[in-house]
Amino acid sequence: MMPADFAPALLGTLFPGKGKWPSADRTGAPARFAERAAASPPLAQAVEAIRSHLPADFASRDAAGRTTALQGAEAVAPAAFALVFAEATGFYYTEPLVQKVNEGKTGFPARPPQPQGIPLEPFDYSILDKRKIKVLGE
């Protein structure tokens, strides 16, 4: 069973935030991650595998201490770590606040693809005007 302070510490170490990017422990991602781990045996096993290689006081360590400890766990349990990282990434980048920051930086819409979609511009035929026609094999 994952202690209550573990998921915030873990995700906050993976995604510590920078500039406008929020630290994961200040979003809803840790709670969603913990909920998922409770329902998903493969994720729960992976979390436990990682935890078994971490010090008992992992959650109360400072950022540098948590990072060092987590690097050690990744080195000895890479497959489990990869699954945990993938799941954590999914929860972090689907947080509304994170999506909003991403939209501001890249233009990628902070909403699901449907139902709104994105305006479909017509094909620009002028791009063919200067095209060098090349017949392959000649």
Partner 1 sequence: MADTDILVIGAGASGAALSWRLSQAGIRVICLEQGDWVKPSDIPSNRPDWEIARMTWWSPNPNLRKLPADYPVNDADTPIKPLMFNGVGGSTIMWTCFNPRFHPDDFRVRSVDGVAEDWPLTYDELAPFYDESDRMMGVSGLAGDPSVPPRTARTMPPMPLGPGGRRFVKAFEQLGWHWWPGDVARNSTAYGDRPACNNCGACEMGCPIGAKGGADFAYWPTALKNGVELRTGARVFEITTDHKGKATGALYLDRQGRTQRVTANAVVMASNGIGTPRLMLLSRSAVHPDGLANSSGLVGKNLMHHPIAAVTGIFADIFDGGVGGAGASILSNEFYGTRKGRDFSRGYMLAGPRIIGPVAAAMGGWGRPLPWGASHHDEFEKLSGRSGALIISCEDLPVESNTVTLDAELKDSDGIPAPKLNYALDDNSKRMIRHAMDRGKEVWDVAGAVDTIERPLLAQAGFHLMGTARMGNNPRKSVVDRFGRAHDVSNLFIVDGSVFVTSAAVNPTPTIEALALRTAAHIIETRQ
Cα separation of 128 and 132, whole Å?
9
Cα separation of 2 and 87, whole Å?
15
- Residue 27: CB atoms within 10 A of its CB come to 22
Cα separation of 89 and 16, whole Å?
12
Rule CB under 8 A: say whether 41 interacts with partner 1: no
Rule CB under 8 A: say whether 21 interacts with partner 1: yes
| Residue selected from 6, 8, 9, 14 as contacting partner 1 according to rule CB under 8 A | 14
* Closest distance to partner 1 from the beta carbon of 1 (Å): 23
Rule CB under 8 A: say whether 117 interacts with partner 1: yes
Q: Do 63 and 36 meet the contact criterion of CB atoms below 8 Å apart?
A: no
Binding mask 47-86 for partner 1 (x = CB under 8 A): --------------------x--x--------------xx
* Closest distance to partner 1 from the beta carbon of 55 (Å): 17
